[in-house]
């Protein structure tokens, strides 16, 4: 058994026993961390494995949150239906955006994804009838697991749902990354011109992974809405997209697990800072600048380097 499998198994056991170890509010914080971890992981699929920096990933999280909120509040469907709706809406919108954006490369791609995300943000902000405008949609209930099934209102129940979604998404993403498709993505990241000259147009690959990443981000958003009880334009804002990039960089780009940890660290830093000052964004920005300059490999990358040295 390899070291990473042992670590994975240990993490899984830890996730299962957490509800009996942690206090109620700690479990709630962990649930939050896992949701943002899933968001950061989804971004790593395009950023770390394909080398495409999306500056508008929050849009798909937000779409997932809105779709989920509407399904739960207006149609009172079970939570899994809301999750499906959130993931689906994010994927469907990502299709045309991705089609346009993947025509450009590098920095142009980053700018385009940002521009489209701001467009979606504006729509969410202005389409009051559906999205509730700047107030968003509040009072989103945690309905049942299935029609007539057990409720998910207890923190433990919802925690397990979130943990299961995150673990499944991670396992699926790891499978994708190791598949022929995932290997092709990494080749695109390394050298797009060589890729083209070896017989394939990279654009369909990029489009598929862009949509896939949006689906996972949508799932994270769809979990977020019932967990926090609301969906608002905030979660589609550019700041959140940038924070996603930070989570990935902090954790370690191109490692999938790293960004999940990075998200946790990021949110915890934010929690701590915001308990001291309402202007925590200044310090977040500063921490981020320092990490970019001094720790480009992120936590996992740096740990690996130290491990290789030791």
Q: What is the binding site for another protein (CB under 8 A)?
A: 47, 53, 55, 100, 103-108, 110-112, 114-116, 118-119, 122, 126, 172, 175-176, 179-184, 186-187, 190-191, 193-201, 204-205, 208, 212, 238-239, 242, 245-246, 249, 279, 281-282, 284-286, 288-289, 292-293, 296
In terms of CB distance, is 109 or 160 closer to another protein?
A: 109
In terms of CB distance, is 3 or 193 closer to another protein?
A: 193
In terms of CB distance, is 4 or 196 closer to another protein?
A: 196
In terms of CB distance, is 139 or 275 closer to another protein?
A: 275
Minimum gap (Å) between residue 190 Cβ and another protein: 4
CA-to-CA distance for 18 and 82, rounded, in angstroms?
26
Minimum gap (Å) between residue 211 Cβ and another protein: 11
Lookup: tokens for 135: 């107030």
Sign of CA dihedral 240, 244, 247, 249: negative
CA-to-CA distance for 221 and 227, rounded, in angstroms?
10
Minimum gap (Å) between residue 55 Cβ and another protein: 8
Minimum gap (Å) between residue 154 Cβ and another protein: 33
Minimum gap (Å) between residue 28 Cβ and another protein: 27
Minimum gap (Å) between residue 124 Cβ and another protein: 12
Q: Whose structure tokens read 């521009």? A: 115
In terms of CB distance, is 73 or 217 closer to another protein?
A: 217
Provide the Cα torsion 198, 203, 208, 214; round to 10°: 140
**CB half-sphere exposure, 221, CA atoms < 13 A:** 37
In terms of CB distance, is 65 or 246 closer to another protein?
A: 246
Lookup: tokens for 297: 């490999």
């Amino acid at each position: 058994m390899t070291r990473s499998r042992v670590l994975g198994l240990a993490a899984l056991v830890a996730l299962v026993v957490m509800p009996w170890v942690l206090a109620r509010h700690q479990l709630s914080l962990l649930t939050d961390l896992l949701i943002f971890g899933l968001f950061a992981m989804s971004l790593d699929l395009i950023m770390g494995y394909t080398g495409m920096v999306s500056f508008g990933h929050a849009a798909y999280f937000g779409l997932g949150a809105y779709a989920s909120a509407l399904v739960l509040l207006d149609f009172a469907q079970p939570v899994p239906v809301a999750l499906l709706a959130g993931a689906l809406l994010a994927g469907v919108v990502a299709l045309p955006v991705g089609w346009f954006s993947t025509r450009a490369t590098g920095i142009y791609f980053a700018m385009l994804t940002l521009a489209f995300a701001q467009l979606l943000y504006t729509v969410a902000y202005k389409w009051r009838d559906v999205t509730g405008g700047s107030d968003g949609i509040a009072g989103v209930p945690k309905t049942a697991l299935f029609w007539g099934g057990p409720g998910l209102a207890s923190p433990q129940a919802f925690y397990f749902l979130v943990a299961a979604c995150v673990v499944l998404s991670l396992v699926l993403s790891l499978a994708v990354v190791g598949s022929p498709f995932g290997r092709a993505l990494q080749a695109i990241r390394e050298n797009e011109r060589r890729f083209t000259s070896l017989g394939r147009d990279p654009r369909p690959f990029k489009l598929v992974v862009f949509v896939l990443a949006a689906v996972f981000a949508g799932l994270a958003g769809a979990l977020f809405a019932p967990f926090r009880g609301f969906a608002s334009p905030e979660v589609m804002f550019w700041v959140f997209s940038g924070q996603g990039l930070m989570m990935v960089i902090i954790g370690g780009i191109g490692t999938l697990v790293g960004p999940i940890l990075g998200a946790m660290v990021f949110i915890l830093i934010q929690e701590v800072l915001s308990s001291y000052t309402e202007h925590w964004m200044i310090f977040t920005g500063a921490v981020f600048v320092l990490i970019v300059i001094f720790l480009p490999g992120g936590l996992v990358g740096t740990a690996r380097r130290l491990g290789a040295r030791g």
